[in-house]
Amino acid sequence: MQKNKNVVELIDITLSFQHRNVLADLSVHFESGKVTALLGKSGSGKSTLLQLINGMIIPDRGKVKIFDTFFDYQQATKLRLQIGYVVQNVGLFPHLTISKNISLLGQISKQSAKSMNERTHFLMDTVGLSHDYLDKYPHQLSGGEQQRVGLCRALFLKPPLLLMDEPFASLDYSTRTGIYNYFKILQETEPCSVIIVTHQFDEAEILADNFVWLENGKIKAQGNKSDFSSIKTDYLAAL
**Residue closer to ligand ATP (CB basis): 44 or 99:** 44
Choice from 18, 74, 174, 226 touching ligand ATP (CB under 6 A): 18
Choice from 32, 48, 146, 193 touching ligand ATP (CB under 6 A): 48
CB atoms within 10 A of CB 235: 20
Nearest to 79 by CA among 163, 186, 189: 163
Choice from 7, 8, 13, 22 touching ligand ATP (CB under 6 A): 22
Choice from 10, 34, 37, 40 touching ligand ATP (CB under 6 A): 40
Q: Taking the complex as a whole, how short is the minimal distance between the CB of residue 234 and ligand ATP, in angstroms?
A: 17
Q: Binders of ligand ATP among 120-159, rule CB under 6 A?
A: none
Choice from 8, 10, 30, 46 touching ligand ATP (CB under 6 A): 46
Q: Taking the complex as a whole, how short is the minimal distance between the CB of residue 48 and ligand ATP, in angstroms?
A: 3
**Residue closer to ligand ATP (CB basis): 40 or 106:** 40
Contact 73, 54 (CB under 8 A): no
Query: Candidates 14-22, 64-72, 200-208, 226-234 — which segment interacts with ligand ATP by CB under 6 A?
Result: 14-22
Q: Binders of ligand ATP among 85-124, rule CB under 6 A?
A: none
Choice from 25, 27, 43, 56 touching ligand ATP (CB under 6 A): 43
- Max Cα-Cα span within the chain: 52
CB atoms within 10 A of CB 155: 22
| Spatial CB neighbours of 17, under 8 Å, sequence gap ≥ 6 | none
Contact 45, 65 (CB under 8 A): no
- The string over 189-220, giving b where at least 16 C-beta atoms fall within 10 Å of a residue's C-beta and e elsewhere, is eeebbbbbbbebbebbebbbebbbbbeebeeb
Collapsing DSSP states into helix, strand and coil, what is residue 164?
strand
Which residues face 26 on adjacent strands?
13
CB atoms within 10 A of CB 114: 8
Q: Does 174 bind ligand ATP (CB under 6 A)?
A: no
The site for ligand ATP (CB under 6 A) is made up of 17-18, 22, 40, 42-48
